[in-house]
Amino acid sequence: MRNSLFVVLSCFVVASCSKAPAPSNDKPVDVVLIGAGVMSATLGTMLKELDPELTIQMYERMDSVSAESSDAMNNAGTGHSGFAELNYTPEMPDGTIETKKAVDINEQFEVSKQFWAYQVQKQYLGAPQTFINNVPHMAFVWGDDNINFLRKRYAALQKENLFKGMLYSEDQAEISKWAPLVMNGRDAAQKVAATRMEIGTDVNFGALTRSMVKHLTGTHGMTLNLRTQVEDIKRGENGLWNVTVKNLADNKVSTVSTKFVFIGAGGGALPLLEKTGIPEAKGFGGVPVGGQWLVTTNPALIEAHNAKVYGKASVGSPPMSVPHLDTRVIDGKKALLFGPFATFSTKFLKNGSWIDMPASVNTGNVRPMVQAGVDNIPLTKYLIEQVMQSQEDRVGTLREYLPEAKLEDWKLVNAGQRVQIVKDDPAKGGLLQFGTEVVASGDGSVTALLGASPGASTAAPIMLKVIAASSFKDKLKTPEWQAKMKEMIPSYGRKLNGDAAYANQIRQQSSAVLGLKAITLDVTAASQE
């Protein structure tokens, strides 16, 4: 009995007692993409444009494409560009506003827009309105301290070319024109302030992903394997990677040999990265955070509001939980959401397992996980408070943004699941990071994307980092690949914010193709600053 227990425990530790089957393919595939979300679809599209001869296999455990983090209701869909997200512009100890992160994210979103415009021009994606539409981005605050912050933020961002054209107001009547529902029923004596960017966007990343995958399978010959779960990833004696998968329809297990693996499985990426055994994976952990939306069922409310209105995050809350009253365009129909309200479970995916988090803890990351927990007590407190809220409590929070909100007009809908990175730090032991990180093996033959916000909006620039860190990095330096990169992304290798004339050119080109508004920057004024 004791020996049997030892065997069971040993099997749990090493994940499997049986020897992985031999590869079923005689010739290794060039690329295996794990996860059928926006990241894998973006990487697959880029690689096939760079080298159409590459063979690619995509594996997805769900029965459809973009069913997890990339799905419209599982993703904020903001088209994150730093216009309204106040957590991207922190106030420094000396009272100044740090704009670097907001500028960087805006630059990255412009890269994504160029990549999407290229695909639209090539007729890979169909009409751009199926996945991207203009929805103004607003930041809205109340109270003296928050108004002072927003005023300083606006002044700081006016020095950045990519944020020229932003409007600012503390006048209730003016703000009412921008977002009437936000002001209807509000105390006339309440001090408020708002900023507005007309060129903000809403993006349906689910629709975008499905279009890219359809093009990859229909035109480029990529093989899509749905309802197929990756069980293990091990390096073979020949240096190639053996990816063991299970067909969930019949539970048959097979193994594919490949030269390059990309783990783009959202919250499920961390456990798969750990299976590779690469030393670069050591020390990474993850904390899952879920979300819920309040979604209105009242058509009159949906039609009366047209903006993404962002507020300030609660102390200790993760960036993905910044409250916003959010106009969405999903499959051609407008919708109005508020939230997200944070939830907590030990699942790494919305359709994951309750043992995801505990199973990911090992000797390599237990210390940083414990330290991150100790250092983030406010986050724990925040999550507990969020989980304990009633529907009346949530609608009460909504009334801070929509004073006349009625309980009967709103229903609670589960959003997606994200995993925040915990990273080993030599000095502090463990840091909880609110961003994304590319983790690659020394030879670049396996890469993984960990983390969340701003996520999908910056998929194209993130995949540029993946390619630069991958086994394709030498090919990336060739004239042929450099030329193709500049065809897909005209600003490749250049920054926009420091050059108003060039920013005008790039923005107007991509916006025209995508059917979006574009603000013309004052080049003369920019050159005089």
pLDDT in tens, 248-305: 999 999 999 999 999 998 888 889 999 999 999 998 887 787 788 999 989 999 999 9
User: If pLDDT is split at 50, 70 and 90, which confidence band does 525 have?
Assistant: low
Q: Are residues 289 and 406 in the same domain?
A: yes
Mean pLDDT value of segment 498-502: 93
Cα separation, 260 vs 245, whole angstroms: 16
pLDDT at 19 over 60: no
Cα separation, 294 vs 409, whole angstroms: 9
The pLDDT of residue 479 is: 98
User: Mean pLDDT of all residues in the chain?
Assistant: 88
Write out the residue range of the structural domain in which residue 173 sits: 82-202+482-529
pLDDT at 344 over 90: no
Q: Are residues 125 and 140 in the same domain?
A: yes
Q: What percent of the chain has pLDDT over 70?
A: 89
The answer to whether 227 and 249 have CB atoms below 8 angstroms apart is: yes
pLDDT per residue over 443-471, tens digit each? 999 999 988 767 889 999 999 999 999 99
Mean pLDDT value of segment 159-182: 97
Q: Are residues 503 and 489 in the same domain?
A: yes
Q: Are residues 86 and 166 in the same domain?
A: yes
The answer to whether 369 and 430 have CB atoms below 8 angstroms apart is: yes
pLDDT at 365 over 70: yes
Q: What is residue 314's DSSP assignment?
A: P
The whole-model pTM stands at: 0.90
Q: Are residues 66 and 210 in the same domain?
A: yes
The pLDDT of residue 8 is: 37
Give the domain CATH number at 267. 3.50.50.60
User: If pLDDT is split at 50, 70 and 90, which confidence band does 225 have?
Assistant: very high
Q: What is residue 17's DSSP assignment?
A: S
User: If pLDDT is split at 50, 70 and 90, which confidence band does 355 have?
Assistant: confident
Residue 342 is assigned to a structural domain of this protein: yes
pLDDT at 434 over 60: yes
pLDDT per residue over 373-396, tens digit each? 766 666 666 666 776 788 898 999
Q: Are residues 274 and 340 in the same domain?
A: no
- Compare 312 and 348 and report the one with higher pLDDT: 312
Encoded amino acid at 207, one letter: A
User: If pLDDT is split at 50, 70 and 90, which confidence band does 4 have?
Assistant: very low
User: If pLDDT is split at 50, 70 and 90, which confidence band does 320 have?
Assistant: low
Q: Are residues 234 and 380 in the same domain?
A: no
Residue 198 is assigned to a structural domain of this protein: yes
Single out the residue of 347, 364, 362 nearest to residue 288, CA to CA.
347
Cα separation, 89 vs 87, whole angstroms: 5
Mean pLDDT value of segment 412-427: 80
Q: Are residues 53 and 23 in the same domain?
A: yes
User: If pLDDT is split at 50, 70 and 90, which confidence band does 437 have?
Assistant: confident
Residue 375 is assigned to a structural domain of this protein: yes
Structural domains of the chain, count = 3
Q: Which residues contact 303 (CB under 8 A, 6 or more apart)?
A: 334
Q: What percent of the chain has pLDDT over 90?
A: 66
Tokens 């995509």 identify what position? 58
Which range has the worst mean pLDDT, 51-55, 131-135, 140-144, 321-325? 321-325
Mean pLDDT value of segment 9-38: 70
Beta bridge partners of 432: 422
Instruction: Report how far apart, in Å, the C-alpha atoms of 68 and of each of 27, 74, 364, 414, 417 are.
Output: 31, 7, 28, 12, 8
pLDDT at 152 over 70: yes
Q: Are residues 374 and 420 in the same domain?
A: yes
Residue 458 is assigned to a structural domain of this protein: no
Residue 218 is assigned to a structural domain of this protein: yes
User: If pLDDT is split at 50, 70 and 90, which confidence band does 7 have?
Assistant: very low
Residue 153 is assigned to a structural domain of this protein: yes
Q: Are residues 71 and 100 in the same domain?
A: no
Residue 169 is assigned to a structural domain of this protein: yes
Q: Are residues 43 and 100 in the same domain?
A: no
Tokens of 505: 């050119």
SS3 236: coil
Residue 471 is assigned to a structural domain of this protein: no
- Compare 27 and 357 and report the one with higher pLDDT: 27
Instruction: Report how far apart, in Å, the C-alpha atoms of 64 and of each of 10, 52, 55, 113, 332 are.
Output: 35, 25, 21, 25, 20
- Compare 481 and 415 and report the one with higher pLDDT: 481
- Compare 428 and 134 and report the one with higher pLDDT: 134
Mean pLDDT value of segment 140-167: 96
Q: Are residues 176 and 242 in the same domain?
A: no
Cα separation, 225 vs 64, whole angstroms: 10
